[in-house]
Amino acid sequence: MLRRPGSIKLFEVAGIRVGVDGTWFVVLFVLIFLLSGSFRSALHSSDGVAYVTTVATVLLFFGSLILHEFGHAIAARRRGIGVSRIELFLFGGLTEMSRDARTPGEDFGIAVAGPAATFLVVLVCLAADLAIVGPQRLLHAVELDGTIPITPVLLSLSWLLPMNLLILCFNLVPAFPLDGGRIARAAVWRATGDRLRATRAAAKLGEGFAVLMAGIGIWLLLSYRSFTGLWLLAIAFLLGQSARSALLQTAVSARIGELRVSDIMDPQPVSIPAATAVTRALDEFLFRYGAAWLPVVDPGGHFLGIARRDRVQVAIDAGEGWLTIDSVLEGEDGAVMHVDADRPLTDVLSLESLGRLGAVMAVDHEGVLRGVVTAERVRRALQSVFGQGASSTSR
């Protein structure tokens, strides 16, 4: 899915930051509003019980989405890929990884892990429902047709079961950037040995699916004035935009070719030793080089994070100039700031820090800082590649 800006942190598990952005609250309140009436009718109880059941059910639903993303995160970590955060937003969630899959097997394993987690949630809900009402009355419980008594627990489970089943089926549609599209990409990648060709194929399927969803949304909106139609249109727009971005990225990747991060990085970056006092860091590094921020490294040269001039100044103003710079640095818990120096330049284009900081740190396989790739260097490299392509075409 599309990369999101800064979000509100909910909690952290195993070093993975879980957060939501502002649009998530829109979905939260809309779902509570839409469900509260039907839950009140199904329970035949007080407004308080119905409201608490509704809120708990919606929060459990979002919990299942987080579990889906943790499926991706765990699969990625098992393959040596760093995961910095998980975020929920208006139309779903995303798992931010330090790099893309390098083989079809990695791509498939990471893509299928999310639906596998959702399938596990479906099985848990199904087992709990069957334990409460038995197989003969399961359909009645899910349909809430009034033939069996409904308790808050049964109501919550009976809503979560079909919703997670719907999420599972939707995610398995072979259209990029859905998980099914990534699975399809892995299959084409394995068959052809060409990742760019596989991505183009999956992205074109994504565009087609987005058009189909938009058509259904327009039909529902015009024929029934249904809120679902408007929702489908919004999702179709997001999927189409993401698929087009993937197509654009494959075009850029094809033109860039074998260009690596090390080819365009500044190989002699200015960095601040972690043991440097805050006052000295401000005077001898940040002011001296006119920098809003600089990378911080440990005695072995390993990249630790960045020191921002305004944050350093706040520490000095508070009378804490004696602190060492590593006590006020900004780490990578919110966003990935580094990339392996031997990786393709295209890996840099997808990193949030390129836009937020205007640069990405280039490190070796041990995490030692080897250079800095600035947005200006990336822009010049792209201009050079595409300028040469245009010149060749004109000739």
Residue range 202-222, pLDDT digits in tens = 999 999 999 999 999 999 989
Quick: pLDDT tens for 105-121. Answer: 999 999 999 999 999 99
Maximal CA-CA distance, the chain? 78
Would the pLDDT of 21 be above 80? yes
Say what the pLDDT of residue 6 is: 56
Two tokens, residue 355: 């836009």
d(CA 391, CA 235): 40
Provide the pLDDT confidence category of residue 386 given band limits of 50, 70 and 90.
low
Phi, psi dihedrals of residue 329, rounded to the nearest 5°: -80, 160
Provide the pLDDT confidence category of residue 273 given band limits of 50, 70 and 90.
very high
- Mean of the per-residue pLDDT values of the chain: 87
Provide the pLDDT confidence category of residue 266 given band limits of 50, 70 and 90.
very high
Two tokens, residue 3: 């990369």
Written in H, E and C, the secondary structure of the chain is CCCCCCCEEEEEECCEEEEECHHHHHHHHHHHHHHHHHHHHHHCCCHHHHHHHHHHHHHHHHHHHHHHHHHHHHHHHHCCCCEEEEEEECCEEEEEECCCCCCHHHHHHHHHHHHHHHHHHHHHHHHHHHHHHCHHHHHHHHHCCCCCCCCHHHHHHHHHHHHHHHHHHHHCCCCCCCHHHHHHHHHHHHHHCCHHHHHHHHHHHHHHHHHHHHHHHHHHHHHHCCHHHHHHHHHHHHHHHHHHHHHHHHHHHHHHCCCEHHHHCECCCCCEECCCEHHHHHHHHHHCCCCCEEEEECCCCEEEEEEEHHHHHHHHHCCCCCCEHHHCCECCCCCCCEEECCCECHHHHCCHHHHHCCEEEEECCCCEEEEEEEHHHHHHHHHHHHHHHHHHHHC
Compute the average pLDDT of residues 13-35. 87
Compute the average pLDDT of residues 129-149. 83
Say what the pLDDT of residue 257 is: 66
Compute the average pLDDT of residues 166-186. 93
- Contact, 43 vs 56, CB < 8 A? no
Q: Which of 176-190, 235-249, 273-287 has the lowest mean pLDDT?
A: 235-249
Compute the average pLDDT of residues 256-280. 90
Provide the pLDDT confidence category of residue 284 given band limits of 50, 70 and 90.
very high
Provide the pLDDT confidence category of residue 387 given band limits of 50, 70 and 90.
low
Provide the pLDDT confidence category of residue 124 given band limits of 50, 70 and 90.
very high
Would the pLDDT of 395 be above 60? no
Say what the pLDDT of residue 346 is: 78
Share of the chain above pLDDT 90, in %: 50
Say what the pLDDT of residue 392 is: 41
Provide the pLDDT confidence category of residue 394 given band limits of 50, 70 and 90.
very low
Q: Which of 38-47, 112-121, 147-156, 379-388 has the lowest mean pLDDT?
A: 379-388
Provide the pLDDT confidence category of residue 285 given band limits of 50, 70 and 90.
very high
Say what the pLDDT of residue 97 is: 84
Provide the pLDDT confidence category of residue 57 given band limits of 50, 70 and 90.
very high
45: left (phi over 0), alpha (psi -120 to 50) or beta: beta
Would the pLDDT of 5 be above 50? no
Would the pLDDT of 66 be above 80? yes
Say what the alpha-carbon torsion angle 335, 337, 341, 342 is, to the nearest 10 degrees: 10
Which of 47-51, 112-116, 257-261, 346-350 is most confident?
A: 112-116
Provide the pLDDT confidence category of residue 393 given band limits of 50, 70 and 90.
very low
| Identity of the residue numbered 158 | S
Compute the average pLDDT of residues 246-271. 84
Say what the pLDDT of residue 332 is: 67
- Contact, 245 vs 1, CB < 8 A? no
Two tokens, residue 175: 């259209």
Compute the average pLDDT of residues 308-329. 91
Q: Which residues contact 188 (CB under 8 A, 6 or more apart)?
A: 197, 198, 201, 202
Say what the pLDDT of residue 45 is: 73
Compute the average pLDDT of residues 314-322. 90
d(CA 30, CA 9): 21
